[in-house]
Amino acid sequence: MPNEIQILTVSELTKEIRKTLEENFQKVTVIGEISNFKAHVSGHWYFSLKDADAVINCTMWKGLNQYVFFTPQDGMKIVVNGSITVYPARGNYQLDIRSMKPSGLGELQEAFEKLKKKLDAEGLFDEQYKKPIPSFPQKIGIVTAIDCAAFKDMVSVAHRRFPLVELIIAPTRVQGIGAAESIVNSIKFLNEQKNIDVIIVGRGGGSIEDLWAFNEEKVSRAIFSSKIPIISGVGHEVDFTIADYVADLRAPTPSAAMEIATPDIREIHNFINEFVLISSRVINENLEESKEKLNSLTRSYGFRIPYELVKRKSQQIDITVSRILKNIEKSSIVYDKKISLLAKSLEAFDVKKTLRRGFVLVEQNSKFVTRANKFNKKQNARLKFYDGDVNTR
Give per-residue pLDDT as tens, 36-80. Answer: 999 888 888 999 998 888 889 999 988 888 888 888 888 888 889
From first to last of its 393 residues, the chain has per-residue pLDDT tens of: 456 777 877 777 778 777 887 777 888 888 888 889 998 888 889 999 988 888 899 999 888 888 888 888 888 888 899 888 887 777 788 888 998 888 877 777 888 888 899 999 999 999 999 999 999 999 999 999 999 899 999 999 999 999 999 999 999 999 887 889 999 999 999 999 989 999 999 998 888 888 889 998 999 999 999 999 999 999 888 888 999 999 999 999 999 999 999 998 888 888 888 888 888 888 988 988 888 888 877 776 666 677 677 777 888 888 888 888 888 888 888 888 888 887 777 766 667 777 777 777 777 777 877 777 877 777 788 777 777 777 887
Task: Please report the pLDDT score of residue 251 as a whole number.
Answer: 93
CA angle (177 as vertex; 172, 178 as ends), nearest 5: 50
Could you tell me which of 191, 198, 187 has the C-alpha nearest to residue 140? Answer: 198
> What are the phi and psi torsion angles at 29 (to 5°)?
-115, 125
Give the chain's domains with CATH numbers.
10-103 (2.40.50.140), 112-126+136-263 (3.40.50.10550), 351-392 (no CATH)
Query: For residue 145, which of 166, 181, 169, 165 has the smallest C-alpha distance?
Result: 169
**What are the DSSP calls for 301-312, one per residue?**
HHHHHHHHHHHH
pLDDT of amino acid 304:
64
Residues 82-92: tens digit of each pLDDT: 888 887 777 78
Give CA–CA dist 191/180, Å, rounded.
Answer: 17
The predicted pLDDT at position 160 comes to 93
pLDDT score for 220: 94
pLDDT computed for residue 224 by the predictor? 96
pLDDT of residue 172: 93
